[in-house]
Structure 1
């Protein structure tokens, strides 16, 4: 019997099939026995993770960058990663109780925050990330 799948064609030799009268018929819902075969991949011991031979330098938003003088006045340092700058801005907002009492997602800007947030009086918390981008040099 020749089997064909796609481009390749193979010939399979099968043992003589018993007659229909002696063959046990499977219900329509049962799958053929060959469908239950699983191929098991041999287990190979995992290689030990490489130990850090040197310290890896931070990259992307974790890399310290120089900041503008306005941002430096708020965060207190001249170079800081973006993630840490956001943490310090949020700490400043919470220390000075600058969230709108009715909607905590709105920040009411004081003079320091107005310099960073482009002179806006009120800023949504999702806008903060975009508004501090120009202050990273």
Structure 2
């Protein structure tokens, strides 16, 4: 069976915006690593809605990234994309 290789475009380091850097740091990171760090932050600060784990409640650092108080985990990547630059 052939080994599955990571898509090189996904592994390209991207620079986070100042708003996103407040959560993940300012070093360029590949998109999957950014998403992982954001999830670590969400879990560390208990930002998932206890009644609906798919919903993320933005704190003062995530609000500028998401642009609103709450997002679903599916919306999150769309908002993160706006804050990542090559």
Query: TM range, normalised to the smaller chain?
Result: 0.7 to 0.9
Partner residue in 2 for 1:75? 24
Measured after TM superposition, the shift of residue 77 of structure 1 is: 3.0
Structure 2 segments unaligned to the other structure (5+ residues): 1-6
**Paired positions, count:** 79
Give me the CA root mean square deviation.
1.2
Partner residue in 1 for 2:50? 101
**Comparing both structures, which one devotes a greater share of its residues to strand?**
2
Of 54, 58, 65, 1:116 maps to 65
Partner residue in 2 for 1:10? none
Output the TM-score relative to the length of structure 2. Answer: 0.86
Greater relative contact order structure (CA < 8 Å, 6+ sep) = 2
Q: Which runs of 4+ in 1 moved over 2 A?
A: none
**Comparing both structures, which one devotes a greater share of its residues to helix?**
2
Structure 1 segments unaligned to the other structure (5+ residues): 1-57
